[in-house]
Amino acid sequence: MQSPINEAGLTEQERLGLQAFKLRLRTSYQDAKENRPHKSASWGDDADQPQQHDRPLPPAPPVPPAPSVVQQAPVARRLAGRIAVGLVIVSGPGSLEMTDVQQQKIVAEVQNGLSFLGGRAPARDVTFAYDIQVASITTPATAGQHATGSDVFEQYEAPWRDAALAAIGQPAGSSGIARYIKTIKAAKSARAAYCAFFTHYQLQHFAYCRGDYVVMHYDNDGWGTDNLDRVFAHETGHVFGAPDEYALSGCNCGGSHGVYGRPNLNCENCADDGGVPCIMKSNDWAMCTETPYHLGYTMPRTSGLSPTPGVV
């Protein structure tokens, strides 16, 4: 039996979370998922609209921290236990506004993506605690501007990102992001935390991960908004240390990834028959046998593998 929820008593965040959950229960939403475009396509598939979908990047260059900023940035090391997820929904002026419907869609897609990642945890110990912030900013559109310089990602990202950080009471740059992540980690009593920005502003690439945070364009490029859930799950995989497995990423089957230090054996370039479907390789709710280790799930003792000592 469902317990009645007094929606009047909910905070704005809670209401948004509940509305998103209800959206996911609708037949029309579930039908859209059944018929999502580019189902099972490799993330690197450029034959039909979608471009190479994402780019894991080195962490953002450090901005000199404000005196009050924490010394040690909390990092999301493994997908185990309670995970705090900060969603910063960036709403700008005019066509850059994130409407109520779009806000709900974002939260629903994130819930959908993370329910996949949580559901695949062998120990069933992964839960997500959300902090949802709608950051209203007045930063003008940067569309059409020609970015130059050494860090084009940062050039496109910084104006709206730093305004959004200010809107949620955080300093600019990577120190603001680190502080926000640390704040939600503590507030949610979480074992790890990360955050994601959703925006209509022009980006260098429509989805990417930079250290502890993810940036996603609402339109999700040629993949479309009904695939935001899987792209978000994929980017979250990068946050926790999972490498790309699609051919165009340039992956190879070696390396030492995630807290278990495992190679990338399902890499399309070298695995038998191009590997099996996996969220790190293609637009599927599927996972190869290595990705659980890369993500740092709590694995059965029978695996004989253990995480790097000292990593919690």
Interacting residues toward Zn ion by CB under 5 A? 54, 244
Residue 224: closest CA among 25, 29, 19, 38? 38
Residues 6+ apart with CB under 8 A from 166: 137, 172
Cβ nearer to Zn ion, comparing 221 with 244 = 244
Cβ nearer to Zn ion, comparing 182 with 238 = 238
- Report d(CA 183, CA 154) in Å as an integer: 23
**What SS3 state is found at 92?**
coil
Q: DSSP character for 35?
A: T
Rounded least distance, CB 97 to Zn ion, Å: 29
Are the CB atoms for 57 and 157 separated by under 8 Å? no
Cβ nearer to Zn ion, comparing 110 with 164 = 110
Rounded least distance, CB 246 to Zn ion, Å: 8
Report the sign of the C-alpha dihedral through residues 182, 187, 192, 193, in that order. Answer: negative
Rounded least distance, CB 208 to Zn ion, Å: 8
Rounded least distance, CB 23 to Zn ion, Å: 26
Cβ nearer to Zn ion, comparing 29 with 208 = 208
Radius of gyration for the alpha carbons in the chain, expressed in angstroms and rounded = 19
Report the sign of the C-alpha dihedral through residues 133, 209, 159, 221, in that order. Answer: negative
22, amino acid identity: K
Rounded least distance, CB 238 to Zn ion, Å: 6
Rounded least distance, CB 230 to Zn ion, Å: 11
Residues 6+ apart with CB under 8 A from 69: 171, 175, 176, 178, 179
* Phi, psi (degrees; rounded to nearest 5) at 83: -115, 125
Cβ nearer to Zn ion, comparing 212 with 244 = 244
250, amino acid identity: G
Cβ nearer to Zn ion, comparing 134 with 214 = 214
* Phi, psi (degrees; rounded to nearest 5) at 29: -65, -45
The DSSP bridge partners found for residue 282 are 42
Cβ nearer to Zn ion, comparing 131 with 245 = 245
Rounded least distance, CB 284 to Zn ion, Å: 14
